Chain A
């Protein structure tokens, strides 16, 4: 079966780097915001 034409799957290593950096960008910001708001309460 083909890779469904998905760029994400045919470039697994680069996709993982992008996916990981995206997770980092989202969750670092969310975690710091959550921590600040929690300890300030």
Chain B
């Protein structure tokens, strides 16, 4: 094993060892998925009817999971910002480890937490009636896409965590970035039916073009984990 890999793994385990001492740190990947699923499935879901979709869970869950991997950015940003503010990363710099492994260890620790979050989303979704119609190939494709997306958003979170001055600010910045992306990306309802997309927005906002990049994650989730959902995220 190379020195870089050994140092990165060491710092990854250091990040994960902090969880038993501060268990509330992983509320965003344990309790938050439950709250989101219950809220959108049983509160808002009862008022949402998507043509061609008999069971809203089969549309909702892939979208929620796509949103969940983007939300991992916030947890990563908060943890990174906290370590920067506390001088933890500065202390690592005085150790005989490469700078790259310090950042990589931080990201891999948060990525591991993100994977736990995806597992929680999947488990709670299945318990709440989500029935994905996976084949082995499609299932592996779905898992690969989710891991890749989580990894990408984790790096984004690490950068924003270094950019902001406090963990509190990261919370605000993260929600400002992720929430609009999740809604415009068609995570909860197909974007084709949105007034903003159809040009009926009171403010005249035509967000169709802007919705396309963030829509790729929910769209990929909806296509690879279709369940009985024949309506994809951009159609209505």
Contacts and interface: CB of A to CB of B under 8 A. Distances in A.
A13 B159 contact: no
B151 A24 contact: yes
A20 B76 CA distance: 16
Contact of A9 (B102, B163, B219): B219
Contacts of A39: 89-90, 93, 99
Contact of A35 (B103, B153, B208, B213): B103
Interface residues of A, number: 28
Interface residues of B, number: 41
B143 interface: no
Contacts, number: 102
Nearest to B145: A16
Contacts of A1: 192-193, 198, 234-236
Contacts of A27: 152, 155-156, 158-159
Contact of B159 (A15, A17, A21, A34): A34
Give the secondary structure class of B's interface.
helix
B155 A6 contact: no
A21 B236 CA distance: 29
A6 B220 CA distance: 14
A12 B158 contact: no
A19 B93 CA distance: 32
B152 A9 contact: no
B212 interface: yes
A12 B63 CA distance: 13
29 contacts: A2-B192, A3-B234, A4-B212, A8-B212, A8-B213, A8-B215, A12-B216, A12-B220, A13-B224, A15-B219, A16-B145, A16-B148, A16-B149, A16-B219, A19-B213, A19-B216, A20-B145, A27-B156, A27-B158, A28-B155, A30-B159, A31-B155, A32-B99, A32-B103, A34-B159, A34-B162, A35-B99, A35-B103, A35-B162
